[in-house]
């Protein structure tokens, strides 16, 4: 089938930007890259780039995730489309934002020709970002908090075997509030979200703790909070 020609002005270019979250040093972190080219040279930004003619939006996001972190087949969700005419000084560029969740041990980011540096920045204390990326991170954080309350996506940030204290730490770090230890554990166990393993976490300052595994799938819908 022949492609139709459009006469009403040039079509906007399309990019993808990925908000990559992890938990590190008891804080919610976002992966940022420092741009080594214009526009916004030397400013921090989200990993992203133009989509290729031969790939879908999701494939483009997966490619950027692999390029920046070296990981694949993890939780990745389309977030929102940002298309303000003023968002990019080069041209009319629409970006489709995604957010991803990776475990700290999966981190393996690398420098590239158009990137002078990389860092994990606190989601709550971001430096000045290029384009409209501050707005994108803010939107992603709201979505993550919302999904944490009614799905199992937060468990993507935990190791395969974890303690109930680690689960509570994830929720408190992301939601920014404290939970009663007894009530939180009771809710998690009553919902059947986890199942105990035969292993005990030792070599810790406090008393040894039972290790658990997730009994649901990542992303399953269930009201947790």
> How many angstroms from the chain centroid is the CA of residue 198?
31
Same domain for 125 and 17 = yes
Same domain for 127 and 17 = yes
The encoded tokens of residue 175 equal 């939601």
Same domain for 20 and 97 = yes
Asked if the structure places residue 220 within a domain, the reply is: no
Asked if the structure places residue 145 within a domain, the reply is: no
Same domain for 114 and 163 = no
Same domain for 74 and 161 = no
pLDDT string in tens for the chain (225-residue length): 455 555 555 678 999 999 999 999 999 999 999 999 999 999 999 999 999 999 999 999 999 888 877 777 888 999 999 999 999 999 999 999 999 999 876 566 666 778 888 889 999 999 999 999 999 999 999 999 999 999 999 999 999 999 999 999 999 999 999 999 999 999 999 999 999 999 888 766 667 889 999 999 888 888 888
Asked if the structure places residue 137 within a domain, the reply is: no
Same domain for 36 and 123 = yes
Domain boundary among 131, 164, 196: 131
DSSP conformation class of 149: H
Distances (CA, A) of 56 to 14, 51, 96, 218: 11, 8, 11, 23
| Residue 200 β-bridge partners | 210
pTM of the model: 0.90
Could you give the CA distance from residue 91 to residue 181 in angstroms, rounded to a whole number?
52
Structural domain of residue 119, as residue ranges? Answer: 13-131
User: 35, 112 in Cβ contact below 8 A?
Assistant: no
**69 membership: H or E segment, kind and range:** helix 57-69
Asked if the structure places residue 202 within a domain, the reply is: yes
Same domain for 107 and 34 = yes
**Helix and strand element counts for the chain (H, E):** 4, 9
- CA distance between the termini of the chain: 51
Could you give the CA distance from residue 96 to residue 15 in angstroms, rounded to a whole number?
6
Could you give the CA distance from residue 225 to residue 222 in angstroms, rounded to a whole number?
9
Q: Where residue 177 sits, what CATH number does that domain have?
A: 1.10.10.10
Asked if the structure places residue 74 within a domain, the reply is: yes
Q: How many structural domains comprise the chain?
A: 2
Asked if the structure places residue 4 within a domain, the reply is: no
Asked if the structure places residue 51 within a domain, the reply is: yes
Tell me what pLDDT residue 2 has.
52
**170 membership: H or E segment, kind and range:** helix 164-175
């Amino acid at each position: 089938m022949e492609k139709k020609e459009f006469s009403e002005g040039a079509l906007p270019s399309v990019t993808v930007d990925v908000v990559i979250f992890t938990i590190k040093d008891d804080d919610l972190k976002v992966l940022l890259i420092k741009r080594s080219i214009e526009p916004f040279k030397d400013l921090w930004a989200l990993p992203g780039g133009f989509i290729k003619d031969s790939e879908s939006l999701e494939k483009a996001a997966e490619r950027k995730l692999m390029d920046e972190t070296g990981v694949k087949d993890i939780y990745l969700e389309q977030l929102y489309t940002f298309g303000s005419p003023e968002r990019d000084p080069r041209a009319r560029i629409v970006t489709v934002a995604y957010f991803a969740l990776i475990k700290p041990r999966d981190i393996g980011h690398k420098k590239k020709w158009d990137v002078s540096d990389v860092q994990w920045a606190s989601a709550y204390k971001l430096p000045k970002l290029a384009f409209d990326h501050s707005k994108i991170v803010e939107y992603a954080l709201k979505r993550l908090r919302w999904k944490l309350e009614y799905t199992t996506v937060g468990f993507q940030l935990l190791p395969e075997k974890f303690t109930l204290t680690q689960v509570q730490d994830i929720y408190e770090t992301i939601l920014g509030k404290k939970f009663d230890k007894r009530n939180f554990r009771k809710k998690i166990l009553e919902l059947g979200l986890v199942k105990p393993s035969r292993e005990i976490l030792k070599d810790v300052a406090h008393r040894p703790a039972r290790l658990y595994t997730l009994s649901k799938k990542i992303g399953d819908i269930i009201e947790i909070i």
